[in-house]
């Protein structure tokens, strides 16, 4: 069971990275602009959108899988390797969030997580019929 879940996680990440490497022919119509990470500045009213919450949910699945992939990497004895793994892990978190649509990267992901619990955003969260497991 553990091997099957690891294989599915690896396939999911492989599909995510291979989709970004596709090239279009030179005569093709211009596509939508690439999603690039931008510095995330939270809105002053701290209101989240339903779209942000939906993208957060998608990111959550991929980020959980990423954590499983890196789980053993952080227990190595060599401090330099551990720091390199941490750097790769943090960059991967940002890439996942940006590719899913949170252009502010992992910073926006964390903000949506915190702001979703705000009473101001209760209506949006309730409209999506989300449940939290404790």
**pLDDT one-digit tens code per residue, 18-31:** 545 444 444 444 44
How does DSSP assign 74-103, residue by residue? GG-S-HHHHHHHHHHHHHHHHHHHHHHT-T
Instruction: Note the pLDDT tens digit of each residue in 66-79.
Output: 999 988 888 889 99
Mean pLDDT, residues 42-58 taken together: 90
C-beta of residue 74 within 8 angstroms of C-beta of residue 85: yes
- The percent of residues in the chain predicted with pLDDT above 90, rounded, is 39
Residue 4 pLDDT greater than 60, yes or no: no
- The percent of residues in the chain predicted with pLDDT above 70, rounded, is 70
Identify the residue whose tokens are 């990267």. Answer: 105
C-alpha distances (whole Å) from 33 to each of 30, 36 are 8, 9
What's the rounded Cα separation, in Å, for the pair 107 and 36? 14
């Amino acid at each position: 069971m553990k091997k099957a879940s690891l294989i599915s996680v690896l396939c999911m990440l492989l599909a995510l990275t291979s989709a970004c490497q596709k090239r279009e022919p030179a005569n093709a119509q211009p596509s939508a602009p690439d999603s690039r990470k931008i510095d995330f500045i939270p809105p002053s009213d701290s209101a989240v959108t339903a779209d942000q919450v939906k993208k957060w949910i998608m990111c959550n699945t991929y980020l959980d899988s990423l954590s499983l992939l890196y789980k053993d990497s952080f227990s190595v004895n060599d401090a330099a390797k551990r720091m390199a793994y941490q750097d790769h892990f943090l960059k991967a978190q940002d890439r996942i969030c940006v590719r899913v649509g949170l252009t502010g990267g992992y910073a926006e992901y964390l903000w949506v997580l915190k702001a979703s619990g705000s009473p101001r955003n209760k209506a949006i969260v309730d409209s999506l019929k989300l449940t939290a497991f404790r």
